[in-house]
Amino acid sequence: MTLNYIFNYSYVSNENESYFTYDMYDSSIISRFVMDISGQIKQFTWSNTTERWNLFWSQPKELCDVYGICGTFGNCNQDTLTCECLPGFVRRSPTDQNFQVPTGGCGKNITNLECVPINRLKDSTDGCTRNKSLQCRSKDFFLPIAASNFPDNSQSQNFNSMEDCKSACESTCSCNGYAYTDSGCMLWDGNLLNVKQKLNVSAGNLYLKQQSEISSSAPTSSPIPITEVRKRRAIIWKIIIPVFTLVAIIMGAFGYIYLFKRDKANKKGKLKELQSVLADLLKSKATYNNTSNTNMLDDVKSEEETQELQIFNLTCLATATNNFCLKNKLGEGGFGPVYKGILQNAHEIAVKRLSKNSGQGIEEFKNEVVLISKLQHRNLVKLLGCCVEGKENMLVYEFMPNKSLDAFLFDPRRKAQLNWEKRFNIIGGIARGLLYLHRDSRLRVIHRDLKVGNILLDEDMTPKISDFGMARRFSGNQTIANTSRVVGTFGYMSREYIMGGTFSEKSDVFSFGVLILEIVSGKKNNSFYDPEQPLNLLLHTWCRYHNLYGHMEDD
């Protein structure tokens, strides 16, 4: 196809995703697609030389191939680009000098065919109907018309001769024509659409049913230029589009008001529920001391060292962050922006503010408050408190001066600070935090969004797992769960979780494995590293491992 010379196609398919993209092969070419009023979709390219748009491609290719371009029983001449009625037909309305399309078309210029009554034709969608029932009689004849292509909606019949095909149409009063070709017999029961004629191009003869009084020389309506048809269509669309737009705006406004009120009521209910949860947390210590494993006592803070969950007011946090100044912004995640703040006692904090456009909401906010307030470990980020005031929902954490791990790992300059000893210690710290969540905490928690951006580093480069908005709590002997809402980050999610929504401790272990690869290699998993195959870091590593050790095992 010609399009291959201006478009560059690419197709990517792996275990995580499959997608198709295309762009201009030459970025200097300017192209646009237009759905024309004629019914064609057209592609134009801009010529700097002539300073005009040139038609590059259209579909249908020829104007006469547009469905119903000349209406019912209309004949489209591709050479002259005119519409005219088939012999024996006149314009739908004698006073319609513009050959109204698509509501126009042609009707018989004789009121009815003389034959016995038969079922009345259904009204056509473009307004062409018969005034009286068709009546079949033997005097009717068929007028041959050379056509470059036959009308749509034909019915194929298995007849061995042209006479049998003709007899079948004669015996059916609703049959308006037939054709017999090498492919067999074709009958047209009802309106004829898209009869087309073109010089030196013929698909065969179309035999149109006529009354005996009609001859091949019978006058027909004068040809109408297709440009006039298109002008009439443009007028119709100029009326339809504003009316449709107005109706859509009114319906959209009512729908928005309804959804807004419903959403507001849901949020109010969730806020009341959240305030109730916070009230319960404030009645007691917000943390639990876990002594289920004596080997973890050094990592788990004692109850005397923990603080109660604090409720901050909006004024306090606005002052601490200099009214959420952009200079104090540390970054932004799925929950919303994170700001650095300094309290009146000079204590540094990190304030995570729920964004109105966030994919997370009140449920995730409540989930994070409840979980982190009951979890205490040196490798988990510490929640100091929260703020629920008006439309504002904020979480207050201990401040991490070294931000997140990806700020070091993928920075060309700062990555040099991560020597092998520090990388090993970071991996060990993440492993201890994950073990605490899965086995040594009173609350068994599956994080579900473990990634390099959710590993924070304190002043001593101690790793701390953060962002528990998507985490889920397991109870009792539960080892596996399923969800219809798959959340997380592609590249870190296991196959069973992506495909079926099944998650367990193994889901976090899979993410941890990807983390180890990124920490050791210093490369992002969602990038490609094989020049011959589009493999991400995980698949690239697996192939290298298989090529190196797979052959050794075979030997």
| Active site amino acids | 449
**The pair of three-digit structure tokens given for residue 546, joined into one six-digit string:** 């298989």
Cβ proximity of 286 and 309 under 8 Å: yes
d(CA 367, CA 351) in angstroms, rounded, equals 17
**Planar angle of CA 77, 83, 85, nearest 5 degrees:** 105
Cα–Cα distance for residue pair 108/209, rounded to 1 Å: 11
Query: What single string gives the DSSP state of each residue in 52-105?
Result: EEEEEEEESSSGGGSTTTT-BTEEEETTTTEEEEPTTEEESSTT-TT--SSS-B
Which two tokens mark 159?
């007849």
> Nearest-CA neighbor of 216 among 85, 83, 74, 87?
87
Q: Residue by residue, what is the 3-state secondary structure of 383-415?
A: EEEEEEECCEEEEEEECCCCCECHHHHCCCCHH
> Three-state SS string across 505-517, please?
HHHHHHHHHHHHH
Other Cβ atoms less than 10 A from the Cβ of 503: the count is 25
Residue the block writes with tokens 């091949």: 216
Which residue bears the tokens 């307004």?
A: 127
∠ Cα 516 518 524 (to 5°) = 155
User: Cα–Cα distance between 83 and 75 in angstroms, integer?
Assistant: 6
Three-state DSSP state, 365: helix
Classified as helix, coil or strand, 312 is coil
Whose CA is closest to 349, among 386, 388, 300, 404? 386
